[in-house]
Every structure is written in C-alpha cells, then in structure tokens.
Structure 1
Amino acid sequence: MTTSDPKPVLMFDSGIGGLTVLREARVLMPERRFVYVADDAGFPYGGWDEEQLRERIVTLFGDLIERYDPEIAVIACNTASTLVLGDLRSAFPQTPFVGTVPAIKPAAERTRSGLISVLATPGTVKRQYTRDLIGDWASKVHVRLVGSERLAGLAETYMREGFVDESAVRDEIAPCFIEHDGRRTDIVVLACTHYPFLVNRMRKTAPWPVDWIDPAEAIARRALSLLPKERRPHEPMPTEPDNAVFTSGNPDPAIRRLMQGFGLRS
C-alpha cells in the first residue's frame, strides 16, 4: 500500500457469501481498496461448537488487523456476526466493525400479510440475538425461523460450477411458505450472505411470489457511514488491486477463479 492509499476495508466471511456485500460496497466506495477474507478452512460454520468458533474468529482477527490495519472491518456473515461481533469490538476497540444481522425490522415494516420467514443457517436461527431482534422489532407479526443445513453449500457449488440442483433448493426453502386464515407468507429474509446467489433459483422454485430481502446494500451503506467523511470526496483511486485471502492457504481452484472474476487478486 502506498502512502497515497487510504487504509483498506476488510471484508470477512466463511466463504463466498460476502462477495454479495463486496459488490454493493464497491459501488458506494469506488475509491477504497478491499481485502476479502474467506475462512475456507473453517467453512461451513454451521457445525462448529460456538465457543470454538468464537475463539477461532477472534484469533484470526488478531492476525488480520495486525497484517492489514483496516480502516473498518465488515463481518459479512450472519452466523459470525450474531456470535462474535461483541467479542471483536471488545478485543479490537481501535477498529470499527460492521456486522450482518437478519433484516427482521424492515421485513416487519413491509409485510402486508403479517407472515414473514427468516431463512438462515441453523446457527443464526438458534441464537438469542436473532430472537431478541424478533422481540424488539417484529412482535406484532408472525415470524417463522427456518434453519437450512444445505443452502450455503449449494450456493458455493452454484458459484463454482454454474449449476445447482433446483429440487434441493426447493426443499430447503419450502418451510418458509405458510398459509394461515387466507393469508400467505409475503416476505422471506435472506439471513445468510450466501443466499442471494441462489435467489433466482428460489424465485423459480417458490410456490408463490414473495419479496426476498437481501441485506447486502444496507450493510455496505452502514460501512460507508462509518468511514471518515472529510476525506472521502478527495481520495484518489487505489493504486493496488483488491486482495482475496484464504485461511486454508490452498483454495479450491474454482473458487480462486471466482475471486479473480470479482477482480480479487489472491
């Protein structure tokens, strides 16, 4: 990084899901350099013991912050955010953190039927954080929490291979759709950053049309709001390319190609 470059924005996810947030962040922050960190050695997070995963992520960030000195860190992963965001802020108070939490509040505000579903990983579904969001913002509507074991992996497969088993997608999203007293689910919150990569397949296999809430733009806007405003309009374009970092050190060649397609050097 040259002296003219601002500090990078660090974006962290268990795999490729955070690329949906990176895509939006680049639109809003074209002058910024990004470091995208994929914890592919730990993917998927769903099967981890909570304390072990918490310790892993905090330890990883000790190295990442020392290595990249980011202006801000975006945890582009619902599972990690609902588990460890508070620990990261306590451990690294000099670094602003932006988390990713289920978009329950906007869903509750927008629903007309009063029936919404939150499609997430099992870890996000079982967290008290998620249930507190429902209590705080959606107490007057019915919220169904749907924990999918397979969708994140299906998204990774789709992005690597360009193909996904649509019947598998249909089976994973089916519990989101409920009918009650003539009303139907009308909003599904995508509470995992991997899921927007499959949203077209979800629309195709859904039993009826719904609004699918993708939080990527809101996350990017929150990150932008925390950057130093006095410097942004005059900052030069970065002189170094955006980087992809893999915790395994040896990513799947297809994933490496995908990162290159997103303009990330690894």
Structure 2
Amino acid sequence: MPSSPATRPVGVFDSGVGGLSVLQALRHELPHEHFVYLADSGNAPYGERGDAFVQRRTLAIADFLHRQHGIKALVVACNTATAAAVEPLRAAMPQLPTIGVEPALKPAARGSQTHHVGVLGTRGTVTSTRFERLRREHEDGTRFSVQACDGLAHAIEQSTEEPLPAAASTTKIGALCARYTGALGTFGLKTGEIDTLVLGCTHYVFAKEALRALVGPDVQIVDTGAAVARQTRRILAQAGALAPESDAGDTPVAPGRVALYTTGQLAALQAAAQRWLGLPAQCCAALPPGGTPI
C-alpha cells in the first residue's frame, strides 16, 4: 500500500456501471490520479431496495476499498447510496473524505427560464428524506416535476450484458425513457413547459441520446459528473493529497492508473468500460464469490 497520500488511489463505487459516468468526469478533471472503481452489479439496482440494505453494502464496500486498496478518498457515485448511506458512512469512517452525488437541482433551478424543471431518478432517491430536503431548499420560484423511473437503471445495466441483443436493449431503454419523460409533462421553452431535465441517477447519463431525442434540442439536460469531479479536486487539495502533475525535474507525470472491479459479470463491466470510457478489458476484474469481505 503506497504510504504517500498523493500517490494513493481515489475510490469510486456505484451499484453497477452507472458510476462510470462519474469516473469519466473524474478522469477528465484529475488525469494524474489513480482510481479504483467497484461496480456492485451483483446487487444492482440499489434504487429499488431498502435503505438498510443500501447502508450495509455502502459501509462494507467503503471498508473493503479502504483496507484492500488504501484509498485516500471515496466518491459515492450513486444517488441512491448517497441518499441512504452517505451520512452513516461519514459517521462510521470520519477519517475517510467522502464525496456523494445528488440530483443537480440547484444549477437546474438557476438555469431554467420557464422555472419548470423535470427530475428523473430511482425510487430510492426521489422518495428519500435527503432528496425532499434538497427540493425544499430550491423550490422557491421553481416547480419541480419528479418521476421515479423503475427499471431504467436495470435496463441500462443489462445493456452491457449477453445474451440480450443490443437492438432489444436499445428498444427497452428507449421505451422506458419515453414512458417516464411522458409522465413528467410537456418539454419546451414556452411558459409552463419543462425546459430543464435533471438526471438523478448516474446510469441515466448513458441514456442521454435517447432522452435528447424525446425532449428536443432546446431542453438542457443536467447531470452531476463534472460538479462531483470539481468537488473531489477541492477536497483532495484541502487535504494536500492531490497527485503531482510533474516530478522534481518538472517532467510531466504519466496519466493515473485505473482498476475496475465488479461483484457481477466480468464481461459486462469490460463491455461498459470499453464502450463508455475506452478502457481495455485488462483493467477489469471480478471479485471472486466468497473471496472478499463484501
């Protein structure tokens, strides 16, 4: 385990492959950092499970990444896990800087011209106390229409798995997106219409093309990846734990390493990493059943 905080990796985890959208933003913002990503795909989706289950998984995964990989910070790249478990996690592991993700209601409200914002999220996220508190903080002058999207994260997760054909997977995701955007209301720039759509689940970033086709070119679609990456940079800088960008002789340091693990199907993680991040299959590994404390 590296002894210098600057050279230790940043941990990132999600219930599945959705958090790869956050990892993508993190790598763009912090190209010299090493990252260890864990997809808990064997237990996905979190959004339709209870808080107690999500809290147990979150604490176990954080402990595993801290002990086995010596992470210097943890990004909980899952809206559901953030809503259900980030506060218990910070209480249990106060020594570990932890960054959560939550639906970007503040920037959406600030940027909306019609003052009507649509929010798509998992049921676990949009029914949580944390989300309700966030909505109340920003609803002055802004109307939020909120839709729980049962099955959408799971369909996106499945889209990287065999034997489901790609065409069938795309059709299923498109149908779910159409159902849930249709339930929100009318999109557009006219008074009363929804002009901003918040993606309240990291998986949904990978359905952005289908969502764009449904809501039209004028509606802004907001996710949290870039904001989370900037917050991670700030926290690492405050702790004096940013990876160096050059060595003592001012020679640029090579880009950081990335290791990805899954509790589910290895082929699915490899396909997602290649498709969405351009990472080779050898970056990925499966955690053997019973071989880890998680």
C-alpha distance after superposition, 1:161-197 (max 9, x if no partner): 6441123321122122347994201111001000011
* Number of residue pairs matched by the alignment: 264
Are 1:72 and 2:85 an aligned pair?
no
State the alpha-carbon separation in 2 of the partners of residues 136 and 201 from structure 1.
30
State the alpha-carbon separation in 2 of the partners of residues 153 and 61 from structure 1.
23
Runs (4+) off by over 6 Å: none
Moved more, 49-58 or 118-127: 49-58
Structure 1: runs of 5+ lacking an equivalent = none
State the alpha-carbon separation in 2 of the partners of residues 143 and 130 from structure 1.
12
- The alpha carbon displacement at 1:112 in A equals 0.9
State the alpha-carbon separation in 2 of the partners of residues 220 and 179 from structure 1.
29
- The alpha carbon displacement at 1:153 in A equals 1.9
Aligned ranges for residues 148-163 of structure 1 at < 5 Å? 148-160=149-161, 162-163=166-167
2:272 aligns with one of 255, 258, 261: 258
Task: Give the partner amino acid of 2:279.
Answer: F
Are 1:224 and 2:236 an aligned pair?
no
**Contact 1:74-1:97 within 8 A present in 2 as well:** yes
State the alpha-carbon separation in 1 of the partners of residues 125 and 98 from structure 2.
19
Aligned ranges for residues 82-93 of structure 1 at < 5 Å? 82-93=83-94
Are 1:206 and 2:215 an aligned pair?
yes
**Contact 1:120-1:191 within 8 A present in 2 as well:** yes
Q: 1:224 to 1:207 in 2, by over 3 A?
A: closer
Q: TM-score, normalised by structure 1?
A: 0.89
2:194 aligns with one of 185, 189, 208: 185
Are 1:58 and 2:69 an aligned pair?
no
- The alpha carbon displacement at 1:258 in A equals 2.6
- The alpha carbon displacement at 1:6 in A equals 0.5
1:244 aligns with one of 254, 260, 263: 260
C-alpha distance after superposition, 1:82-103 (max 9, x if no partner): 1100111111111100000111
Taking only aligned residues, the RMSD between alpha carbons, in angstroms, comes to 2.5
Structure 2: runs of 5+ lacking an equivalent = 248-252, 286-294
Task: Give the partner amino acid of 2:260.
Answer: A
**Contact 1:105-1:138 within 8 A present in 2 as well:** no
**Contact 2:196-2:222 within 8 A present in 1 as well:** yes
Are 1:194 and 2:203 an aligned pair?
yes
**Contact 2:31-2:256 within 8 A present in 1 as well:** no
**SS of match in other structure, 1:73:** strand
C-alpha distance after superposition, 1:205-248 (max 9, x if no partner): 23674111011111111111111365544456469831111134
